[in-house]
Amino acid sequence: MADLDPSLPLYEALKWDADGMIPAIAQDAAGRIVMFAYMNRESLAETLACGNAVYWSRSRRRLWRKGEESGHFQKILGIRTDCDGDVLLLTIEQVGGIACHTGRASCFFNELQGDRWVPVDPVIKDPKDIYQ
């Protein structure tokens, strides 16, 4: 796989998949991975313009402004790409401390224990109180 070509303009340097998507990992400033989603050119452009994370919702088939319903926005602190230019890493400030729709700090709260997935992180706020 070819390395990212830094001489190319922003969008052309990235490797978009056949659907025009690129994986995006959201990581807080302390280094904890809180979320994974996809972005397309439009969502990346809006993210850059507004300073908050905007993703492409594959299930809703539309832009998803993280926090639009919950109030748990992700303020962008920095954006990096890997050496191939096919994954984005967003360093974010997670407003309200909740990134997951389950009311947890991170979507990565299930841990493999033996042959079972066990939720190991606490629910910070009941989702019924978030999404009314």
Domain coordinates of the chain in residue numbers? 15-130
Question: Using a CB cutoff of 8 Å and minimum separation of 24, what contacts does 95-102 make?
Answer: 95/67, 95/71, 96/70, 96/71, 96/72, 97/72, 97/124, 98/70, 98/72, 98/124, 98/125, 98/130, 99/26, 99/34, 99/35, 99/72, 99/74, 100/34, 100/35, 101/70, 101/127, 101/130, 101/131, 102/127
- What sign has the CA pseudo-torsion 42, 77, 49, 102? positive
User: Residues 66-123: pLDDT tens digits?
Assistant: 999 999 999 999 999 999 999 999 999 999 999 999 999 999 999 999 999 999 999 9
26 neighbors 34 (Cβ within 8 angstroms) = yes
Which CATH fold topology does 15-130 show?
Answer: Ubiquitin-like (UB roll) (3.10.20)
pLDDT confidence band for 2 (50 / 70 / 90): confident
Alpha carbon distance 3, 95 (integer Å) = 34
Helices (H) and strands (E) in the chain, counts: 3, 8
pLDDT of residue 4: 86
104 neighbors 34 (Cβ within 8 angstroms) = no
Average pLDDT, the chain: 94
